[in-house]
Amino acid sequence: MPIGRASSSTSPLGRTSGSTPPLGRASCSGSQTTMNRFYRSPSVSQVPFDIDLACSKGDAKVRLGKALAKWFQSDDILGRKADNPYFVAAIKLAQQLGEGVAIPTGRDIDGPLLDMSYDDLKAHMEDYKENWGPFGVTVMCDSWRGPTKMCIINFMIFCNGCMFFHKTVNATGRVQNADFIYDCIKEVVVEEVGQEF
């Protein structure tokens, strides 16, 4: 789509997709927008666009790699995070969908998309619970104290080769004797997991 022409399509998250207005001082001649303008006003339309990278005729893999590296480096993301299977799947899906699909905003990711991920995980947990009867479960817990002296106890559930985080108990200021630990385990095993497993 040519720069400056807006599309009237609407994304599933209720936003209208379209191109952003061209940024000043960006050209294929070597001048680029400055980073401090972006940091003063972090709106999407202010992000510095590397027009030289977009106009280059070089290898597509190198161009994509440089663009992703700039994103990782500007947000202090470790390079090994590119090996995350969810990141790889998202990049492959973006390649398959091609141009014209609106990029989700931070508000989308932290709002409706987070809710969708939570619902997906809940549905996955319900499927996982169907294995509890045939395979049984093992409830595990560990306690640790952080640098702020806050003490927590994490509970995990293991079944059929898979482990899920179940809950955290705040044990700050509590004496972690046998009675306290027993009460925590009893609550998880009997009341939440179910003693039949």
Domain boundaries, given as residue ranges, for the chain: 131-194
Q: And the tokens for 85?
A: 């299977």
- Record the pTM: 0.55
Least confident interval from 37-46, 85-94, 164-173, 185-194? 37-46
pLDDT of 8 reads 44
User: Hey, what amino acid is at 37?
Assistant: R
pLDDT averaged over every residue in the chain: 78
As given in the structure block, the two tokens for residue 192 are 């939440």
Q: Which region, left, alpha or beta, applies to residue 139 given φ > 0 means left and ψ of -120 to 50 means alpha?
A: beta
Cα torsion at 52, 106, 167, 180 (round to 10°)?
100
Query: Count of CB atoms within 10 A of residue 137's CB?
Result: 20
- Torsion sign, CA atoms 175, 177, 179, 181: positive
Q: Does 108 score more than 50 pLDDT?
A: yes
Q: Are 55 and 28 spatial neighbours (Cβ–Cβ below 8 Å)? A: yes
Q: How far is CA 170 from CA 145, 156, 166, 167, 177, in A?
A: 10, 15, 14, 10, 14
**Which of the residue ranges 32-41, 121-130, 162-171 would you say has the lowest mean pLDDT?**
32-41
